[in-house]
Amino acid sequence: MDVEKMEARIKYLEDKLGKVEDIEAIKKLQRAYGYYLEHWCVEDILSLFSTNPEVVVKVHAGEFRGPESVRRFFLHGRDVDPGTVKHPPTFLHQVMQLSPIIDVAPDGNRAWGRWYGFGANAFEAPGGIAPGWMDGVYENEYIKEDGVWKFLKFYWYMFFHAPYTLSWVDPDKRVDIQMEPDFSTLSPDGPSDDTFYPSGFQAPFHYPNPVTGKKFKG
């Protein structure tokens, strides 16, 4: 193998390794979010998001655009420093980050990822504790800032949130009602999609079919 071909081969392998490292870093970022979400660790959650003006969080409550709006969402109902946010021990918001498909831009500075989210939650409610199941899809855009991957556009399309009748909560404490955080005092910057079952909503795909190369049309 001549020198020119060897140099080209080395460059190819270096680029390949760089992309693998980017994908693994994005996986760690997304999974870390899931663990911080479990007990709503606001300071750690916010640290995962870019402060770029393009940053956005879109959830069932609506769309929150810009760093201050994103911060307001995660701090909703709490006029406190994020490091002091505390929840009762009964609070649970565990969403597993599953089945990732990640694509990195050719310049290595942006990426897109789709994940399933499935988990359980429990909130204090009048008369006891309201446990529930949730399920949905993440379609996120990531940005690399100073060599570190962060969330830029975070879309959580929740398909259902339902009470769990036979729960891990003791029967004498359990309240089988639909319950989720009260977002009525928030003013989102845009509307929420109608994603709840049985709407038939299909979250947009950022990637083409990995075999045919065709974009999903719905």
Q: Residue 80: which CATH number?
A: 3.10.450.50
> What is the model's pLDDT at position 80?
58
- Let me know if residue 31 belongs to a domain: yes
pLDDT, residue 211, reads: 83
- 96 in a structural domain: yes
Report the pLDDT value the prediction gives residue 161, as an integer from 0 to 100: 87
Task: In whole angstroms, give the CA distance from residue 103 to residue 111.
Answer: 6
- At 170, list the tokens: 């003791």
pLDDT of residue 79: 53
pLDDT confidence of residue 73 = 94
- Cβ atoms of 186 and 72 closer than 8 Å: yes
What is the per-residue pLDDT for 82?
Answer: 60
- Asked whether residue 193 is domain-assigned, the answer is no
At residue 114, the pLDDT reads 98
Calpha distance 101→121 (Å, rounded) = 25
CB of 64 within 8 A of CB of 188? Answer: yes
Is 211 domain-assigned? no
What is the structure's pLDDT at 84?
Answer: 61
**Structural domain containing residue 31:** 3-163
Q: What is the pLDDT of residue 56?
A: 98
Task: Report residue 95 as tokens.
Answer: 């969403």
- Give residue for tokens 């003013």: 187
Burial of 6 (0-12, 13-18, 19+ CB in 10 A): exposed
pTM here is 0.86
Is 208 part of any domain?
A: no
Domain-located, residue 203:
no
Domains in the chain, number: 1
DSSP characters over 96-136 = EEEEEEEEE-TTSSEEEEEEEEEEEEEEEETTEEEEEEEEE
Q: Would you give the distance in Å from CA 85 to the centre of its chain?
A: 20
Q: Is 121 among the domain residues?
A: yes
DSSP SS3 for 20: helix
Q: What integer pLDDT is reported at residue 89 of this predicted model?
A: 85
pLDDT in tens, the chain (218 residues): 689 899 999 999 999 999 999 999 999 999 999 999 998 989 999 999 999 999 999 999 999 999 999 999 999 855 556 666 567 888 999 999 999 999 999 999 999 999 999 999 998 889 999 999 999 999 999 999 999 999 999 999 999 888 887 777 778 887 877 777 778 889 999 988 888 878 888 888 898 887 889 988 76
Tokens 């409550």 correspond to: 61
Q: Which of helix, strand or coil describes residue 25?
A: helix
Locate 8 and state its tokens: 């080209």
Written as six digits, the tokens of 7 are 């140099």
Residue 117 domain flag: yes
Side chain identity, residue 166 = L
